[in-house]
Amino acid sequence: MIESKLTRRALIAGASAGTVGAALAAQGIGPQLIDLGLPGGPSLRPLTPAFPGKGEMIVQRIRPPLLEAPMSVFRDGVITPNDRMFVRWNWDMPTSVKAADHRVAVGGTVTQAVSLTLDDIAGAGEHVDVVAINQCAGNGRGLSEPRVTGTQWGNGAMGCAKWTGVRLKDVLAKAGVAKGATRVRFAGLDVPLTDGAPQFIKSIPLDIAMRDDVLVAWAMNDAPLPLLHGFPLRVVVPGWFSTYWVKMLSTIEVLMGEDDSYYVAKSYRMPAAPITPEDKDFPTVAITTMPPRAFITSHDDGAVVAKGKPLVLEGIAMGGDAALTKVALVGEGGLDIPCTLGPDEGTFAFRRWSVTIPAITDDLEGIGVRATNAEGAVQPESLAWNPSGYARNVIERITLRAQ
């Protein structure tokens, strides 16, 4: 019998350690802290307690877990190791799941409702691998100015993995999608912490659900999904924010009409048109696809580089919901240098980039990298502010000091 487990004692101990650690840190002793450089502060976050199966992570919250990857994780390669992938749960997650007992109910606007075992799902169709970025819709929220509500993430609420499973459309075929269906909704095993709070359920349009790269996945980087990442099954929707990648999948419901559930109709939404912080009443649209983004990962902000010598800059970039086509180094004084792209791991994967500056003559003030995708979407120079800090894709800038 396959079982994945996190002991509640370990989680409670972790919560206690986090509280004690904060008190010790205030006295100048205790756990290592990392500064996320959040303009609205506070910026310091602990790297403890350690969670089962995870390496060094930035602890944003203990329960439900919110763990951010340090940017150093993205300095090499494009695949994020399982133990360094960010963790985001809206509600409490089970600490033990027995695969043999797990069932996925498929119902709603279908020919016949079914309850599927893991073997049923594994046998539903061809086994498929997709390399895709999993990114929280609020990644980088803590860098918003003015500050906004929600988890004050730096830029580490993202990662790229190889996901293995079967196509969602093959699982749906087990029940038969009825004529007139419009959307497919998912729920997992996580439960609200308070009575009356809405269950975390999300839905995608039927045409997205029927794509060949949308999966019900059981493996992550050739290993079974860790419990923190949705064991035994999760939805994978490449190019879409992770809010739709429902973990510990237990229910698939085919809908007719619109979805009026809270996390679709009321939450995870952003202004339909640009607004200012002073605007109060405005129409909104659901967060869906990811825009292009790029990051310098070879050097931290404020790093010292050798004056008079060549400088190689490197990093990662994504095209969002379309293939990445270009990355350019940009900065003050009209700096705009094309970067060389590394191997292509797939439309929805990170891609490495590099650029060489022949000789550094002075400080490099406010440099960044600008990504462009195959649909012509380009990272903007300035932040498109919104009250939830969603879908950030402004050019991220650093300064390097020449000595």
> What's the CATH number where 169 sits?
3.90.420.10
Q: Which domain holds residue 344?
A: 293-402
**Do 173 and 218 sit in the same domain of this protein?**
yes
Task: Kindly give, in sequence order, each residue whose CB lies less than 8 Å from that of residue 281, ignoring residues fewer than 6 positions away.
Answer: none
**Do 300 and 188 sit in the same domain of this protein?**
no
Please give the distance of CA 35 from its chain centroid, rounded to a whole number.
Answer: 20
- Written as tens digits, the pLDDT of the chain (403 aa) is 366 776 444 433 333 333 334 443 444 556 799 999 999 989 999 999 999 999 999 999 999 999 999 999 999 999 999 999 999 999 999 999 999 999 999 999 999 999 999 999 999 999 999 999 999 999 999 999 999 999 999 999 999 999 999 999 999 999 999 999 999 999 999 999 899 999 999 999 999 999 999 999 999 999 999 999 999 999 999 999 999 999 999 999 999 999 999 999 999 999 999 999 999 999 999 999 999 999 999 999 999 999 999 999 999 999 999 999 999 999 988 999 999 999 999 999 999 999 999 999 999 999 999 999 999 999 999 999 999 999 999 999 999 999 9
**Do 103 and 247 sit in the same domain of this protein?**
yes
Question: Of 35, 58, 88, which marks where a domain is finished?
Answer: 88
| Spatial distance between the Cα atoms of 132 and 198, rounded to a whole number of angstroms | 29
**Do 179 and 137 sit in the same domain of this protein?**
yes
Strand 304-305 with 397-402, pairing: parallel
**Do 269 and 393 sit in the same domain of this protein?**
no
| Spatial distance between the Cα atoms of 399 and 296, rounded to a whole number of angstroms | 11
Task: Kindly give, in sequence order, each residue whose CB lies less than 8 Å from that of residue 334, ignoring residues fewer than 6 positions away.
Answer: none
**Do 193 and 308 sit in the same domain of this protein?**
no
Measure Cα distances from 323 to 78, 290, 340, 347 in Å: 15, 11, 15, 4
Res 30: pLDDT? 60
**Do 332 and 365 sit in the same domain of this protein?**
yes
Residue 283 phi, psi dihedral angles, 5° rounding: -70, 150
**Do 216 and 338 sit in the same domain of this protein?**
no
| Spatial distance between the Cα atoms of 337 and 353, rounded to a whole number of angstroms | 12
Question: Of 265, 286, 307, which marks where a domain is finished?
Answer: 286
Question: Of 267, 286, 305, which marks where a domain is finished?
Answer: 286
Cβ–Cβ under 8 Å, residues 323 and 347: yes
Res 2: pLDDT? 60
**Do 218 and 300 sit in the same domain of this protein?**
no
Q: Is the pTM of this model over 0.85?
A: yes
CATH code assigned at 371: 2.60.40.650
What residue type is assigned to position 264 of the chain?
Answer: V
**Do 163 and 239 sit in the same domain of this protein?**
yes
**Do 24 and 66 sit in the same domain of this protein?**
yes
- In the numeric block, the tokens 């200012």 are attached to 276
**Do 105 and 207 sit in the same domain of this protein?**
yes
Q: What's the token pair of residue 184?
A: 């497919």
DSSP β-bridge partners for residue 68: 58
- In the numeric block, the tokens 């909104």 are attached to 284
Q: Decide: helix, strand or coil at residue 260.
A: coil
Domain count across the chain = 3
Buried-exposed string 75-104: b where 16+ CB fall within 10 A, e elsewhere: eeebbbebbbbbbbbbbebbeebebeebeb
Measure Cα distances from 228 to 31, 54, 82, 146 in Å: 23, 9, 10, 32
